[in-house]
Amino acid sequence: MSQSREALAMDASGTTFGKKKGFLVSRCTATFLLLAVLLCITATGLLVYHFAPCTRVPAGASTLADSSTEEGDYPLGGLEGGAGGRLSPHAGDSLGSGRTPKRLDVRLPRSVLPHRYDLRLVPLGLASAAANFSFHGEVRILVNVTMPTRNVTLHVGNDMKVDEAYSAVDRVPRLGERMKRVTVVRHETDVERNFHVVHLAENLEAGRQYEVHLKFSGILNDLLQGFYRSSYTENNRTRWIATTQFQPTDARRAFPCFDEPALKARFKISIARPHGMSAISNMPKIQGVTEPVVDMPGWIWDHFMESVPMSTYLVAFVVCDFERRANGSFSVWARREAINQADYSLHVGPAILNHFEQYFGVTYPLPKVDMVALPDFAAGAMENWGLITYRETAMLYQRGVSTNSNKQRVATVVSHEIAHQWFGNLVTPSWWTDLWLNEGFASYVEYLGVEAVEPSWKITEQFVVDELQNVFALDALESSHPISVEVGHPDEINEIFDRISYGKGASIIRMMDHFLTTDVFKRGLTSYLKSRAYQSATQNDLWDALTAQAHQDGALEKNVSVKLIMDTWTLQMGFPVVTVKRDYEKATAKLTQERFLLRKQGAGKFVKRTNPSEGQENEKDNDKYLWWIPITFTSQDEINFESTRPQHWMKMERSITLTSGLPPAYHWVIFNIQETGFYRVNYDPTNWKMLIAQLESDHFTDLNSVNRAQLLDDALNLARAGLLDYGTALSVTRYLSQETEYLPWKAAFSALGYIDSMLVRTGGFEKFKSYMLSLIDNIYKQTGFTDSPRDEQLTVYKRVSVLGWACSLGHEDCVQNCIKQYNNWRRLENPDRNNEISPNLKNVIYCTAIRHGSQAEWDFAWERYRATNVGSEKDLLLAALGCSRETWILGRYLEWSVTENSGIRKQDAARVFAAVSSNVMGQPLAFNFLREKWDRVKEYLGSSLFTINNIVRSSTKRMNTAFELADLKKFAADHRRDLGTATRAVEQALEKAEANVEWMKTHYQVIIEWLSNATNINSLNS
C-alpha cells in the first residue's frame, strides 16, 4: 500500500530518556512541555485553516497531485464531476433515497498520453490440477508528455497489485543524449477511481517521450470480466482457458493502462502459454520467434506483431487448447468437440467482411480476423479488433439440432461484430457518452450484412418488429435516457449498455438512412471513416460528414444540417406520437406532436433527477419535447409504400397543417411509410374506422405487411397509454383471423402479450383466452405441426409463434401434439443422438410437455441439458426447464443458477431467471428469490452489467398489484446504495410496475366488457 502524502518522517533519535548524555526533566516538566507543544500545533492548524489559500477537491477524491502538479494534470472537464461539469445520471434523489451523489471526476489527466505498450503476461493455473489462478506480467508504456508534470496517473484495477519496488520512469534520449532515469518517490492509489499515481522527484518535460515500466500481478478471476478463466469438460477432464472481456472499463484489471477509449496507442503483446496450448491476440503471431519462459519448464512465449493504434477496451488475448479452422486470413476457434459447429460462422464471416468493405468504402485494416467461441462469456460477443470473442450460442450452429432462429442469431451477431471493426474500432467514440455511435450503427448495419449473405430471410423487414417496436416500450418510460448521455463512473457507463443505445440507436440511424437516401448516407459514412481513421470522434463529427455530403448531393437544404435534425433524437430521451386530425371537407390534416409516454405525465412519480436530459423530470418538462420529424404518408387513392423520402418535416413544431396530397373524404390515409420514422401515429376516429374496414375487407392487397404490423403495434400501445380507446384498438385486431403473414402476427403477439400478462391472474382471463384462440384458429390450421426444411424463414417463425401461443393458451390439439412428441423422445434408447423433434419446434414442445408434466419430464430435460454438446440446445432446455408448474422445482432451479458446480454456468444465471419469470407461477418466485438473496446473487455474479440488469427486468416484469409494487419499492429502498449497475434497471422496473397498477385500474373493466360482447368473438367465426 502506498505511503500517504501526509505521513511525517519522524526521527526517533531526536529525544532520549534514560542514563544517556544530555539533561533530565521531571515528570511534571515533561507534562507541561507536552501540553505546550500540543497547544502550538493546534494554534498553527487554526491559523493555516483560516488564512491559507483554499484548494477544492471533489468529494470522495484522493489528493493525488503534489504541490508541484500543474493545472493540466487534472482531468478534462475540471474538478466538478465529468466532462463539462454536468451531474451524473444519478444526480438528485435517486430511487426516493435522497442519496447525494459523489461528484467524482473519473477522467484521467491529459498531461501524459500513451503512445505504445509493450506488454508481457503470464497466466497461471491453466495446465495444473492444483490450479493457482493468477497472472503476472510487466508493461513498458511509451508516453508523450504534453505539459510539465511530476506524476504519471493511469488505471490499475483494485484487484491487481503493482510491484512498487520494481518500477521505473526513463526519459527517451534524443540524438546525442543519454537515457535519463527519473526517480520514483512513491506510489499512490485511488481505489474508487482505479487511479494509480507514480509520484516523481522532478517534472517530466513537455514535448518529450518517457518510458514507464511497471510489474504487476492479479487474479485470473471467474467473474467473466477483465482477464478471466473459463473451463469446459472433455473426456471427463476439466480443461481451463484464459480469456478477456475489457469493454468498457476492465482492461485495467489485466494490466496498468490509460483505460479510456480516446487514449489510443499501439500494442506489442507477448503471452506465455503452456506447451500444447495456443495463444491468440489482436494481431498475427510473429512466426518463428517463440522462446521458452525462464524458470517455467514447458512454457513458451508467443510474440505478436505490433498493432495499429487502438483503444484499451479492444485489446484481447486468449490462451486455450481449442481447434482452429481457416478460410484464408479468416479463422474460427472452438472446443474440439464443437469445432464442426463453427463451419457456418466461417462461411458467412468472410462474406460479410467483404460486404462491409464495399459498403463502408474502406478496406479492413488488419491482416487477419480470429473468431473464438468461449464456454463462458457474459455478453453475446465482443468486437475486439482482429480477435472477436463470442459465447458459444452466438457463434456455433449445428445443422439438424439448432433452430432457424439460432442460425439467424449467429449470422446477425457475426455481422454486428464485424461491422464494429470499422464503426467503433477504426473510429472510436471519444467517451462513453457516444457509446451509441458504436452500438447503434452496428445494430443497424448488422441487418444489412445479413441481408447481403442470406437475402431469402428478408431480415431488413424483421427490423421493424425486432428492433424498433421492441425498443419503443423502454423509451416510452420517464426513466429512459437520451441516446447520448453524460456518464462518468463505470457503473453509469455499464447502465447505458441497453436497448436505448442499441435498438433506438439502430432505429434512428435507419430513419436517417431513409431521409438522406442510402447513396448519400453511405458516401457520408465513407468520408467520416476515412477522415477519422485510427482516431476518436463525437457524434458531431459524424453529423458534419453527413451534412457535407447531403448538401453536396442536394439531400438537405443548405440551411438544414444533420446535427439540427438528429440532436432532437439523441440529446433528449423519448419519442413522439404524431396525431393526425383530418378536415374531410377541405381535404387537409393537422399534425400535432407530443412525447409518447406509457402513463400520464408525472403520475405516481417515484424519483426525480436533477438534469431533465438524464432521467426523471416533472410534467412541464415533457411539454418541451419537440423533434424534427420526417413525415411520409400514402392513401387509398394513390397507394405507394415504396417511397420513404420525407414529403414534409415537422421542424420542432408543435403542429403543422397539410394542405395538399391528401385523399378524398371517403379514403383512408396512413402515415410513416414502412415505419421508417421513430414515432407512433394516432388518427381521428373516422380514419381509424376506414383503416379497420380496409384491414377486414382486403388487407393483403392494399396495405403492406410492415404497415399492418405498425397499425397493430401503434393502436394497442396508444390504447395502453390512454391516447386511444381500447374498443378501437382491439377492433384493429379482429382482422387477424384472416392474416397469414409473419410480421403483423409478430407485432400483434408482442402488443397483445402485454394484455395477456396483465389478465392472466384475473378472473377475466378466460374471455381473453377465448378471443385469442378464435383469432389464431385459422392460422393454426394453416401452419400445422409439420416443419419442412424447404419452408421460408418467415414461415418458420410464424409457425413457432402461433404454436407457442396456442399451446400456452391450452389449445387441446397443440398440447397433445407436444406431449406425444416429447414422450416419444423420452422412450428412445439413446435420446441424445436420436431426437426426432424438429429443431424449430423444440422450444414449444419442450416447454409444453414440462408445463403439463411432472418431475419426471423435468428430470429428463435436465439430463439432456447436462449431456448435450450444442450450446443452442442447452439454451432451449434452460428456457424449457422454467416452464414447470411445481413451485419447489422452480425454487430449486433458481437456487442452482447461483450455485457453483450446479451444472449451470455463471453466464446463464440470467437465462434461468428469465425462464422462471416467463412462467406465471414462477415470476413471483423469481422476485422473492432476488429480494431475499440479493447479496448472494451480487457476490456470485459480480458486477456483470448484462446479467444483473436482465435478472432485475425479468423478475419484475409482470407486477401489477399494489402489494407487489410496495414490495418492489421496499426492495429499491433497502438496496438503494448497493444497486450499482442495476440502478437504472430498478428505476425502470418501478415505473413499469406503477404503470401496470394504473393500467389495471383504468382499463381492466373496459377490456373485459369489450371481450364479453359476443359479436366480437362470434363475428370471427361467421
Given 417, 486, 495, 987, which residue is catalytic?
417
Phi, psi of 456 (to 5 degrees): -70, -15
Q: Are 913 and 930 in contact (CB under 8 A)?
A: yes
User: Which whole-number Å values give the CA distances from 883 to 79, 765, 844, 889, in the listed order?
Assistant: 52, 19, 10, 10
Give Cα 792 to chain centroid, integer Å: 30
What's the rounded Cα separation, in Å, for the pair 222 and 240?
11
The three-class DSSP label of residue 166 is strand
The three-class DSSP label of residue 37 is helix
Residue type, 733: T
What's the rounded Cα separation, in Å, for the pair 128 and 147?
48
Residue 602 CB partners (closer than 8 Å, separation 6+): 618, 619, 622
Exposed / middle / buried, residue 470 (Cβ in 10 Å: 0-12, 13-18, 19+): middle
Pairing verdict, β 381-382 and 648-651: unpaired
What's the rounded Cα separation, in Å, for the pair 211 and 143?
6
550 DSSP assignment: H
**417 is an active site residue:** yes
CB count within 10 Å of CB 189 equals 18
Pairing verdict, β 576-583 and 680-683: parallel
Exposed / middle / buried, residue 985 (Cβ in 10 Å: 0-12, 13-18, 19+): buried
Residue type, 670: I
What's the rounded Cα separation, in Å, for the pair 743 and 320?
43
User: Which whole-number Å values give the CA distances from 55 to 52, 63, 148, in the listed order?
Assistant: 10, 10, 20
What's the rounded Cα separation, in Å, for the pair 775 and 762?
21
DSSP 836-893: -S-GGGHHHHHHHHHHTS-HHHHHHHHHHHHH---HHHHHHHHHHGGG-S-HHHHHHH
Strand partners, 234: 237
Closest CA to 741 of 707, 714, 717: 707
CB pairs under 8 A, 24+ apart, for 1018-1021?
1019/734, 1020/734, 1020/737, 1020/774, 1020/775, 1020/777, 1021/774, 1021/777
The three-class DSSP label of residue 197 is strand
The three-class DSSP label of residue 662 is coil
Q: Are 516 and 649 in contact (CB under 8 A)?
A: no
323 DSSP assignment: E
What's the rounded Cα separation, in Å, for the pair 664 and 182?
83
Helix (H) or strand (E) holding 1021: helix 1014-1021
- Per-residue three-class SS string for 431-450: CHHHHHHHHHHHHHHHHHHH
Residue type, 739: E
Cis peptide before 53 (omega within 30 of 0): no
Q: Are 224 and 907 in contact (CB under 8 A)?
A: yes
Residue 757 CB partners (closer than 8 Å, separation 6+): 957, 958, 960
The three-class DSSP label of residue 660 is coil
Residue 982 CB partners (closer than 8 Å, separation 6+): 948, 949, 952
Give Cα 385 to chain centroid, integer Å: 19
> What amino acid positions are annotated as catalytic residues?
417
